[in-house]
Structure 1
Amino acid sequence: MPIQSGGMPHHSHPFYMPVKISSLTSLSHYATDNIPATNSCIMFVWEGKGQLEIDGELHSLESGIIMTFAATSKLKLKTEQQLQGMWIEYTSMPNHRQEQNFLNGSPALHHASAQLIALSGELYSAWIEPDDRKPFKVQQLFTQFIVDLHHELAAKKETSGSWIENVFEYIEAHYNEDITREQMATLAGVSPEHFSRTFRKIMGQTFSAYITLLRIRRAQQRILTSSPNLTTLAHEVGYEEGTYLSRKFKQLVGLSPTAYQNKNKKIVALNYNHTAILRVLEIMPQLGVYSDWHRSLEQVPASKQLTMNEGNSSLLFDSIALAEPDIIISYNIPENKILTPVAPVIELPFMQMSWREQFGLIADVVNRRQRAEEWLGHYDGLCHAANKKLNHSIGSERGTAIVWELSSRAAYCFSSSYGRGCQILYGDLGFKPPSIIMENGIMDSGYLVSSIEEIGTYPADYIIITSIPSSSEGRKRLSRLLRSRDWKQLDAVRNNRVYILNQGDMFYGFDPLSSQAQLKELLRVMTS
């Protein structure tokens, strides 16, 4: 090691030290502007699914992914399936400026090795249950974690074709313009010949064929979600004439745009909510994702059920391609791009559309608007009857209500944009969310996270618990809550207005089928 004058060692690299390690479920409690600017952060997802927005850029979260970023980054988390994992804040010694941290700005590691996953579990356990006999264990594990993460990120960088990623981003933004192979090769910094070989190896088709495919897919999406004039549509996707678009459309799809719009289509739905919408519209998807609760309502052939294989996009692609769908319905997630060669993907924005709006849009796509309106009329009738019954039972002044979903490690409450029965309580039945969760920003994130023991600090006139922990550890924490002073002093507890339903799978859905069941269950317990 080099020695400076005065005999002190010179550190060519900083020494990294963990400041805080916690469960990923606590992320919503961390405002990045409250984290010291000298710190950096690591997010490691063990289970679940969601999206993380970092400084305006959206990243998909799934099992095995690791994200690294500076504390000065602006974060926004959206959870689709409950996230489990590890959230780390760390600093460097000596106190280097955080932008010099070699991890900041690194690309996401999408498939952490089994060794790194096991090491992360040891690190988390050592942090939350320190061993006084091994005071340096956390630091040793963290140092090894950083070293292994660095090695895996370096290996990824060596094997990734970063210029290809840049090219695809450009194509997505400019597919309707006159872009050429030579322009893309210049953008990539490679020869046109090398560009063509690499592109065809990755995509299985030429650059020009892919541009045509992308334009026709965009045309299909527009045809399915509106009724554009053919000439206008041609201009939108990059062609000068409607007749030329029609010819290209028929070559690729096998039908004219009009015939495609009118045909009965084979559909693949990539999540529970959209599968349920299709079933309410009396359509059996070619493949759909079904919840356990949905499967308890009807027998679904195994051949019609789609398993979302975490971290295995090629297997998912093969399953969907074999179904030969005419339409794929999904939320707007980055993984949808790999499905472009298979069929047009109708993307619905996550947490930005109510279940009624999603229902209506999908009904239009599959030409079942009348069926949707009939069903909504029936549902509104149920809501009217429910409100009359509540008026008789508890009065017209509803008061506040809060919904909790308990896992083994944390408790979650929600806004109406996230569902979980809140779309009914706050939207259909006239209850209000407690001011404390409004002040904590639930309308921005869609949900808040608390420890189970802290639920007693969130007062509401009515408390609904839709699921309780399945583990012995979680049950013990729930038991401590129910014995706590804060809990016993809540008005809802003293007035016998706490409803423990433990039907998390039913309340997870944000669709017509689940909402109707949730309405009936909420009415049953609140008027019994």
Structure 2
Amino acid sequence: MKRVTQNMQTRNAGRSLPNPHSFYIPVRVMALDQASFNGDNPTQPFTSFLVVITRGSEVIELDGERIRLSGGHILYSDSSVDITLPRSHKLQGVWIEYAAISGNIRTFSPLNHRQPVRSCPSHVSTLAVQLLSDWNQPEQRKPFALQALFTELLSELYDSSAEYAEPPSQWIDRILQYIESHYNEDLTREQAAGLAGITPEHFSRSFRKFTGQTFNQYITLLRIRKAQQRILTGAPNLSTLALEVGYSEGTYLSRKFKQVVGISPSSYHRKSKSVVSLNFNHTASLHALEVVPRLGVYSAWMESLQPVPSRKKLLDEGISSSGLYERLSSARPDVIISYSLPDKSKQLLSVAPVIEIPFMQMDWREQFRLIAEVTGRQPQAEAWLSLYDWHCHQANQMLDRRIGDRGTAIVLELGTEAAYCFSSSYGRGAQILYHDLGFRPPLGLVAEGLLEKGYLEIAFHNIARYPADHIFITSSREAAEALEPLQSLLHPVHQHHTDDSPGGRIYFLNQPCMFYGFDPLSSEAQLKVLVQALTS
């Protein structure tokens, strides 16, 4: 044994073993009212000290800077500072000096003298007072009691300091996004807390405060919502689905699914779904399928066709309103349909699974078919689209006889200071002109990125730079001419192409609300209006 010890000493001679840990030991503890009576000079340089203010209020100086301390403040420094306390100060509290052994002193950010922590938790003050009492009664304390008490104080102080470091509002979204990307992996509270840079205990408190659920409850709910989404859009068998969402076997997924949803995955797949729609395009798709949503957003054009009871109607105002959230919760839908808006999906996680439809990545037919799949109405959707395609065929035969080659076309929506034109991915009737009727967008607009961007803003005086054979304005002639910059542009052109005109024929459709839709019902109505304008 002696030889081994010597060998170890020889092996370690001349080098220090790395030690990432630090250990903190109190070396001086006293009541704060004694701190200003150290000789004639109340100004002392200190290193590694902690002051817990329990009562009173006073202005002190730290490195020449005047700050006010009051009951509930904590003052901390791990570097040499000059602190001046008035001789007759009114502060009560505990002054603690301590030493760090091995490793480097870690700053309990932001517990420094530049930013004194307010609203100190009462249990931290209680521990500091207990430490002072035990320090002054050495004959009554047990071995290691002071170290244990001081360690507990630092631990509590560190946990509470996280509340003053990075606010949860700054890290919660980052953590939720991480969970969204890794929900099907083995995630632990400790991992998430490490990513947030806080203790697991503080993480749990803040996470539950912001989400209304514990970390494990949130993970479970997210996995079940993902499973519901897959069931609604053609899920694989239960065992494969379980692996997709982070469970090892189908029976465990089925048990968790029933705990959250109330029924088994197979029952959920078979049942008739109650739906909430957060966009009027999707509400119109549901009505085309003869599905009346429990709650839906309706456009002014849809309401002009058939009034909607207020109990069935949502305002298109986003999902941040607590009143709107309460309405969705009370509706108890089986599924919510919305354009892809991640923040909404997180907020609605506790209500129902959200089917997110990518914005500008799916044409109205693809969106219609997806909604039909979610609601189990695929045959009705295909029958509707077959009839629509027949109407397009009839329209093209008529246009072949009347105008022959289609040429170029543009749809303009007029704002107060500019006009907007659209590609087929954005609607406004462009999906019909370019996709169903064979017209082409002007090359100038294509060159400026119309197809990639979806729409372009055009200053009124620049409209003539994009000549087209057919120009459709969704508003009325009166509305267009009321815009002074357009008066000289519109008057010379109606049937004839002139040098100062932006193209060939101009059509005033007088249907801005109807052309705003990008859905089966709006497209059907837009087709009729466009063909009527072209053939009149």
CA displacement at 1:468 relative to structure 2 = 5.7
Tell me what 1:165 maps to. 173
CA distance in 2, matches of 1:521, 1:344: 37
1:401 matched to 2:409? The reply is yes
For residues 9-48 of structure 1, what are the structure 2 equivalents within 5 Å? none
1:172-223 CA distance string (max 9 Å, x none) = 1111111111111111111111111111111111110110000000000000
Alignment RMSD (CA, Å): 2.5
Tell me what 1:229 maps to. 237
1:322 matched to 2:321? The reply is no
For residues 411-422 of structure 1, what are the structure 2 equivalents within 5 Å? 411-422=419-430
CA displacement at 1:233 relative to structure 2 = 0.4
Tell me what 1:63 maps to. none
CA gap of 1:401–1:354, structure 2 versus 1, over 3 A, is: same
CA displacement at 1:299 relative to structure 2 = 2.1
Tell me what 1:178 maps to. 186
Q: Which amino acid aligns with 1:385?
A: Q
Note if contact 2:464-2:501 (Cα within 8 Å) is conserved in structure 1: no
CA distance in 2, matches of 1:205, 1:470: 56
Note if contact 2:467-2:503 (Cα within 8 Å) is conserved in structure 1: no
CA distance in 1, matches of 2:479, 2:485: 10
* Equivalent in 367, 370, 375 of residue 361 of structure 1: 370
CA distance in 1, matches of 2:432, 2:320: 36
Q: What stretches of structure 1 move > 3 A for 4+ residues in a row?
A: 157-160, 310-313, 468-474, 487-496
* Equivalent in 295, 301, 321 of residue 287 of structure 1: 295
Q: Which amino acid aligns with 2:466?
A: Y
CA gap of 1:425–1:220, structure 2 versus 1, over 3 A, is: same
Note if contact 1:460-1:492 (Cα within 8 Å) is conserved in structure 2: no
Q: Which amino acid aligns with 1:390?
A: L
CA distance in 1, matches of 2:192, 2:235: 33
CA gap of 1:490–1:318, structure 2 versus 1, over 3 A, is: farther
Asked which structure has the greater RCO (Cα within 8 Å, sep 6+), the reply is: 1
Q: Which runs of 5+ in 1 are unaligned?
A: 1-156
CA gap of 1:493–1:385, structure 2 versus 1, over 3 A, is: farther
1:434 matched to 2:442? The reply is yes
Tell me what 1:35 maps to. none
When the two structures are superposed, what TM-score results if normalisation uses the length of structure 1?
A: 0.67
* Equivalent in 429, 448, 451 of residue 456 of structure 2: 448
How many residue pairs match? The answer is 371
Tell me what 2:207 maps to. 199
For residues 82-481 of structure 1, what are the structure 2 equivalents within 5 Å? 161-310=169-318, 312-336=320-344, 337-395=346-404, 397-467=405-475, 475-481=483-489
1:27-52 CA distance string (max 9 Å, x none) = xxxxxxxxxxxxxxxxxxxxxxxxxx
Structure 2 residue matching 1:245: 3-state secondary structure: helix
Q: Which amino acid aligns with 2:528?
A: K
Q: Which amino acid aligns with 1:326?
A: D
Note if contact 2:468-2:504 (Cα within 8 Å) is conserved in structure 1: no
1:351-392 CA distance string (max 9 Å, x none) = 111101111111011010110011111101100110111111
| Percent of residue pairs bearing the same amino acid type | 58
Structure 2 residue matching 1:161: 3-state secondary structure: helix
1:122-146 CA distance string (max 9 Å, x none) = xxxxxxxxxxxxxxxxxxxxxxxxx
Larger radius of gyration: 2
CA displacement at 1:169 relative to structure 2 = 1.5
CA gap of 1:158–1:315, structure 2 versus 1, over 3 A, is: farther
Q: Which amino acid aligns with 1:162?
A: Q
CA distance in 1, matches of 2:343, 2:266: 29
Note if contact 1:468-1:475 (Cα within 8 Å) is conserved in structure 2: no
CA distance in 2, matches of 1:285, 1:182: 42
CA distance in 1, matches of 2:500, 2:508: 12
CA distance in 1, matches of 2:245, 2:461: 55
Structure 1 residue matching 2:370: 3-state secondary structure: helix
Structure 2 residue matching 1:367: 3-state secondary structure: coil
Note if contact 1:460-1:491 (Cα within 8 Å) is conserved in structure 2: no
CA distance in 1, matches of 2:379, 2:247: 34
When the two structures are superposed, what TM-score results if normalisation uses the length of structure 2?
A: 0.66
Tell me what 1:498 maps to. 506
